[in-house]
């Protein structure tokens, strides 16, 4: 389904008869958001794992194409999969990923500034995972790595207002204030039918980000 | 030697000379115009005449490649290129174009700002 939608968007963008210049831009930065993982932490406490923090620092990147004067559309991803995941004890980590379509309108002022307004319907996924488990075959004395994980998914929405400053013709810096509307419910899925973790994580909190943008 | 073999010998000589002269001519032309191949490419010409705005999405990577190649070749040949104002012109054009929001841009801006305004007001109030 997602593949079909992205295919339709791709076709729409590249066959559009709009005469405006297509401006491509790639944004990479760091975000800071808040969560309310109280129920999830209660579950962790019940199996003697330490609590996870209520702040998350996702790496953020998006690729946008200008499809209309003062409007761009693209793909956006917020992820703590790499380095910035929240940690529990015993090598358990909680990577959270949100990705989806980013629609952004903007206007310029002064010589180098731009204010942008973003709307992003997003698909979120969270995994509580331990990928440093080892299994030993005692008869042969062979060790192998294995992973234990439970996962959860949700639909989310992100809206933001940001300020961009153009440093050069192809480089700018961007910061924004926004709000994420999403909640991971109590149903965590695992390969086994039952698991001891059932708490929800509320992501509906303010979100800030700073990023560098390269573009054409 | 009969007349036929004399004629054959003459024609062979002439052809060789002709081919050689043409080859050297081609070599001379290509030496002169190596620089012009990338700098006078239709995409570069189009950008110079109509601005970067006129380039289509698929032409942009070719333009970047040819532009860099042109500059490298100009440096090798010790030719001074005029400082390009294409980027500045494009930036100025887009800056002026995007001073106002209209159409779908205005809708997105309104939705986003109204949503954020009421969310943060609610957050502060609570």
Average pLDDT rounded to a whole number, residues A131-160: 86
Helices B59-76 + B3-39 axis angle, to 10: 110
Please report whether residue B73 resides in a domain. Answer: yes
Name the residue with higher pLDDT: A65 or B40. Answer: A65
Phi then psi dihedrals of residue B44, to 5 deg: -65, -45
pLDDT in tens, A23-53: 788 999 999 999 998 888 888 888 888 888 8
- Report the C-alpha dihedral over residues A33, B118, A61, A203, rounded to 10 degrees: 40
Please report whether residue B9 resides in a domain. Answer: no
Kindly report the nearest CA distance between residue A168 and chain B, in angstroms.
10
Contact between B78 and A125 (Cβ < 8 Å): no
Residue A143: pLDDT above 60?
yes
Contact between A175 and A162 (Cβ < 8 Å): yes
- The per-residue pLDDT for B54 is 80
Average pLDDT rounded to a whole number, residues B90-115: 84
- ipTM, two decimals: 0.74
Contact between A55 and A102 (Cβ < 8 Å): no
Helices within chain A (DSSP H only)? 2-15, 38-46
Distance, in Å, from the CA atom of A40 to the CA atom of A52, rounded to the nearest integer, reads 9
Residue A198: which of A186, A211, A215 has the closest Cα?
Answer: A186
Give the whole-number percent of chain A exceeding pLDDT 90: 37
What residue of B is the nearest CA neighbor of A206?
B120
B51 and B99 together in one domain: no
Contact between A26 and A209 (Cβ < 8 Å): no
Please report whether residue B7 resides in a domain. Answer: no
Residues in A touching B88 (Cβ below 8 Å): 169
Structural domains in chain B (count): 2
Please report whether residue B6 resides in a domain. Answer: no
Question: In this predicted structure, which of A183-192, B5-14, B115-124 has the lowest mean pLDDT?
Answer: B5-14
- Identify the band that residue B86 occupies on the pLDDT scale cut at 50, 70 and 90: confident
Domain that holds residue B50: 20-83
Boundary (domain end) residue, out of B66, B83, B100: B83
pLDDT in tens, A159-216: 999 999 888 777 889 999 999 999 998 888 887 767 778 888 999 999 999 999 988 7
Please report whether residue B48 resides in a domain. Answer: yes
What residue of B is the nearest CA neighbor of A13?
B57
B97 and B53 together in one domain: no
B29 and B64 together in one domain: yes
B31 and B54 together in one domain: yes
Subunit contact B105:A118, Cβ cutoff 8 A: no
- Report the C-alpha dihedral over residues A72, B59, A6, A154, rounded to 10 degrees: -50
- The per-residue pLDDT for A19 is 38
Question: In this predicted structure, which of A52-56, A180-184, B16-20 has the lowest mean pLDDT?
Answer: B16-20
pTM: 0.73
Residue A102: pLDDT above 90?
yes
Average pLDDT rounded to a whole number, residues A114-126: 92
A70 close contact with B: CB closer than 8 A: yes
Please report whether residue B8 resides in a domain. Answer: no
Map out the domains of chain A with their CATH numbers: 20-215 (2.40.160.20)
Residues in A touching B120 (Cβ below 8 Å): 179, 206
């Amino acid at each position: 389904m997602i593949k079909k939608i992205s295919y339709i968007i791709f076709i729409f963008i590249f066959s559009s008869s709009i005469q405006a210049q297509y401006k491509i831009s790639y944004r990479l930065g760091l975000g800071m958001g808040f969560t309310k993982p109280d129920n999830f932490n209660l579950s962790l406490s019940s199996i003697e794992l330490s609590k996870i923090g209520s702040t998350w620092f996702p790496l953020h990147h998006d690729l946008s194409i200008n499809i209309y004067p003062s409007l761009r559309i693209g793909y956006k991803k917020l992820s703590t999969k790499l380095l910035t995941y929240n940690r529990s004890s015993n090598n358990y980590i909680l990577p959270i990923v949100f990705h989806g379509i980013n629609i952004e309108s903007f206007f310029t002022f002064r010589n180098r500034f731009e204010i942008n307004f973003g709307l992003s319907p997003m698909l979120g996924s969270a995994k509580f995972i331990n990928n440093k488990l080892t299994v030993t075959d005692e008869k042969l004395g062979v060790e192998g790595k294995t992973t234990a994980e439970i996962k959860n998914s949700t639909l989310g929405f992100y809206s933001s207002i940001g300020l961009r400053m153009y440093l050069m013709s192809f480089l700018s810096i961007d910061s924004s204030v926004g709000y994420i509307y999403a909640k991971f419910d109590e149903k965590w899925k695992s390969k086994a039918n039952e698991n001891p973790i059932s708490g929800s994580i509320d992501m509906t909190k303010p979100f800030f980000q700073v990023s560098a943008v390269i573009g054409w | 030697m009969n007349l036929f073999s004399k004629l054959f010998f003459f024609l062979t000589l002439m052809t060789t000379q002709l081919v050689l002269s043409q080859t050297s001519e081609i070599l001379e032309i290509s030496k002169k115009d190596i620089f012009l191949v990338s700098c006078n490419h239709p995409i570069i010409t189009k950008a110079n005449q109509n601005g970067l705005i006129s380039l289509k999405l698929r032409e942009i990577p070719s333009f970047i490649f040819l532009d860099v190649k042109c500059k490298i070749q100009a440096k090798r040949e010790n030719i001074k290129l005029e400082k390009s104002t294409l980027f500045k012109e494009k930036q100025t054009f887009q800056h002026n174009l995007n001073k106002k929001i209209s159409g779908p841009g205005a809708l997105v801006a309104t939705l986003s700002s109204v949503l954020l305004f009421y969310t943060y007001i609610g957050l502060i109030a609570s």
